[in-house]
Amino acid sequence: MGIQVSVSGIVPADLQVSVLDRLSNYTHSASQFHAREVVFDRGPLESNSEDSNLLRFRHVDQINKAQGNDNKSTSWSLVSLGRPERERISPDFLIRPIFSCPILDGDPMEFASALGYWRKFEFYKRGVAFTRGVVVVELFQLFETETTPVGWPEVTLITITATVSGSRATGMAPGQVTAVVQQQESRSEGCNRVREMQAVLKGLVDLGRVEPF
């Protein structure tokens, strides 16, 4: 279980080159990616418990640019995102628990159906991902299918996401106080890492909390 901290925004068309140049100078690696995300649900929104009922299956074709060579990797992963913190608690960042794991074998769609989930929607993302430590910055465009863009095809979106390990405590029994402290420290670390990257892009992109869909 981890903690995900994120902000999002729109990259102005006339500043895209400047944004790419600045990220190239301040991040450790970059790769082109083409991702398909399929979202499954297991019940109506009003029945959600403390954790979200949504499962995301993410399939990524990623090309890493290193020393002039194109190293391509393809993988499926399962992502379970918990309910975000309320805006009054974290007005500047979208913060929520996250669990993810690679899918090594089998059909992820059949797996979700066997658990009682139904397919809610899917979308495609194509763009560039930059990495600096626990922070991933994605610049991308959205597509309804692999080749059909959404209604605003010229818009480039940006997300800054930090995922840090965290413990989750449900009470104050012996040993859980430490877990609560660790969770708060992880939360603060994630916020600080995202805030640092926001500062790198200051003057180029307006970034803030965006509610998930």
Q: How far apart are CA 61 and CA 74, in angstroms?
A: 5
Q: What is the DSSP string of 194-209?
A: HHHHHHHTTTT---B-
Instruction: List the beta strands (DSSP E) in 144-197.
Output: 156-165
Strand partners, 127: 33, 140
Give the largest Cα separation in the chain, rounded.
Answer: 56
Matching CATH number, 2-200, of 2.40.160.10, 1.20.1260.10, 3.40.50.720, 2.40.320.10: 2.40.320.10
Residue 120 burial (CB count, 10 A)? 15
Counting residues of the chain whose pLDDT is more than 90, the rounded percentage is 52
How high is the mean pLDDT of the chain? 85
Span 125-155, pLDDT tens digits:
999 999 999 999 999 999 988 888 777 778 8
